[in-house]
Amino acid sequence: MTIRCYFVFLLSTITVVNSIQIPFIQNITLVPRYLWNSTTVSNQTLHSCICLSLSSYVAFNWFSNNSCQLFHTFPITYRIQSTSNARLYFSKGIFPNASQCCMPDINYLLDKLRNGTRTYRNVSTPRNLFIDNNGYLVTAELNPPKLDRFNAQDLSLIDKTNLSTYGSYLMTVVYANNAYFAGFISGPITVIDSQSLLVLNNIVSTELNNMRSIIFLNNAQTMIVSLVDKNATIFFNRSSPGSFNYTFAYKQRTNYTGVHGLVAVNNTYFYSTSYPDKTVYSYSAVANSTQWTETLVLNTSSVYNATGGTFVTIDECGRFWYSFEMPAVYIFDKSGILLGNLSVSNGQIMDTLITDNYIMYFSDRGNAPDQIIRIDPHIQC
């Protein structure tokens, strides 16, 4: 895909027009994983940003609010992020090298985490964890069902929202399009505005039975739900852009039992865990089809006495941090080799969230009291 930028130079009475082709990617932005020098300008047309970038910038993100983020050099560690109505332009026609890993030495990283600063917050039966558009740390309380939000720095409570009138056993809460999607064990999925906390919709389907996890693909056009006792993932389509109404589309059976934690990688690839088998599978989309190719990625038989494989988190080095409802989180490489573990508590770790500079959060159950743990290893990449 290309766009033409026309420059007009008036030399006396002569007009010189140069045509330059600049490659770009639609609905994609380049996001440095850590602090990186860039320049953001506002109130600029697209052509103004293109012309500005040609002076001394290798790339820029263009946003629909008439702003652009320009990069003098490519960040060493970055991710490619799906962003609606945005574009990533390569001003010089060159492309970045593969994103480098910040912490390749796992033993050094684990030592920093073991000696890092820990913050604790008592929370009843916490489930999965994420950081929302407000910068809050968010989790679901299983029973009684509540949506909890905390200050991500000191874990002070922002608010608790009681959801017991909508369902029982809140298994997961996820975020998309400025809304929380709260999934109850047998439905519904209650959609809540992330600012006002008003309920926007209840997604109901007879297919929702014993759900465990929710992810979104294609700018939240596709919603995928795991069903732990149905050996299946189910797919929903959004009824229209901007809508919070989703309808059941199709189901994919799995070749293993206990489908649990889902992790989206991109629009055509995601991971799933098996709770009883303590394995991780990948799913890649089959072109022009509603089918997905299932592949075994991790077989964690090397971990003994594990209760069950709940959620897996992939760090920027491509390592898998797998939670087994044990006091420690276990780390595997892409080949499934056990690299080490991080002892976190005396309870049962349900989920692990990894943020910038390897600040980590853990949901910990069965520790009397249940809690959320934050570890800051004081790393600067």
Domain with residue 293: its CATH number is 2.120.10.30
214-253 burial by CB neighbour count: b if 16+ within 10 A, else e?
Answer: bbbbebbebbbbbbbebebbbbbebeeeeebebebeeebe
In a domain, 114, yes or no: yes
pLDDT tens for 190-203 read 999 999 999 999 99
DSSP letter (8 states) at residue 356: G
Residues 197, 226 within the same domain: yes
How long is the chain?
381
pLDDT tens for 48-91 read 899 889 888 999 999 999 999 999 999 888 888 888 899 999 99
DSSP letter (8 states) at residue 304: -
In a domain, 101, yes or no: no
| Nearest one of 218, 170, 153 to 356, comparing CA atoms | 153
d(CA 172, CA 86): 30
Q: Where does the chain have alpha helices with state H?
A: 46-56, 106-114
- Point out the domain boundary residue: 54, 89, 124: 89
Residues 66, 156 within the same domain: no
Q: Which residue has the tokens 């962003």?
A: 83
Residues 256, 290 within the same domain: yes
Residues 303, 345 within the same domain: yes
pLDDT at 377: 97
d(CA 194, CA 145): 17
Query: In the chain, what are the helix, strand and coil shares in percent, each to the nearest 5?
Result: 5, 55, 40
pLDDT at 7: 32
- Point out the domain boundary residue: 89, 122, 145: 89
In a domain, 97, yes or no: no
In a domain, 96, yes or no: no
Question: Dihedral through CA 374, CA 163, CA 144, CA 326, nearest 10?
Answer: -30
> How deeply is 165 buried, as exposed, middle or buried, from its count of CB atoms within 10 A (0-12, 13-18, 19+)?
exposed
Residues 55, 117 within the same domain: no
- Point out the domain boundary residue: 89, 117, 143: 89
d(CA 344, CA 331): 13
Residues 82, 113 within the same domain: no
d(CA 128, CA 134): 17
In a domain, 150, yes or no: yes
The answer to whether the bond into 188 is cis (omega within 30° of 0) is yes
Q: Which residue has the tokens 């991971």?
A: 271
C-alpha distances in Å from residue 276, one per residue of 115, 228, 259, 342, 351: 32, 10, 9, 22, 16
In a domain, 293, yes or no: yes
Spatial contact of 7 and 1, defined as CB atoms under 8 Å apart: no
Give SS3 for 106: helix
The reported pTM is: 0.80
pLDDT at 3: 40
Residues 224, 141 within the same domain: yes
Question: Dihedral through CA 147, CA 151, CA 156, CA 162, nearest 10?
Answer: -10
pLDDT at 19: 64
Domain with residue 50: its CATH number is 3.50.4.10
In a domain, 192, yes or no: yes
In a domain, 146, yes or no: yes
pLDDT at 78: 86
Spatial neighbors of 250 by CB under 8 A, at least 6 apart, are 234, 235, 290
Residues 72, 113 within the same domain: no
Instruction: Give the residue numbers spanning the domain of 268.
Output: 106-376
Residues 150, 221 within the same domain: yes
Residues 135, 276 within the same domain: yes
Residues 85, 120 within the same domain: no
Q: How far is CA 13 from the centre of its chain?
A: 56
pLDDT at 329: 96
pLDDT values of the chain reduced to their tens digit, one per residue, 381 residues: 444 433 333 322 222 235 678 899 999 999 887 667 889 999 989 988 998 898 889 999 999 999 999 999 998 888 888 888 999 999 998 999 888 888 899 999 999 999 999 999 999 999 999 999 999 999 999 999 999 999 999 999 999 999 999 999 999 999 999 999 999 999 999 999 999 999 999 999 999 999 999 999 998 999 999 999 889 999 999 999 889 999 999 999 999 999 999 999 989 999 999 999 999 999 999 998 999 999 999 999 878 778 899 999 999 899 999 999 999 999 999 899 999 999 998 889 999 999 988 999 999 997 778 999 999 999 987
Residues 362, 303 within the same domain: yes
Count how many domains the chain has: 2
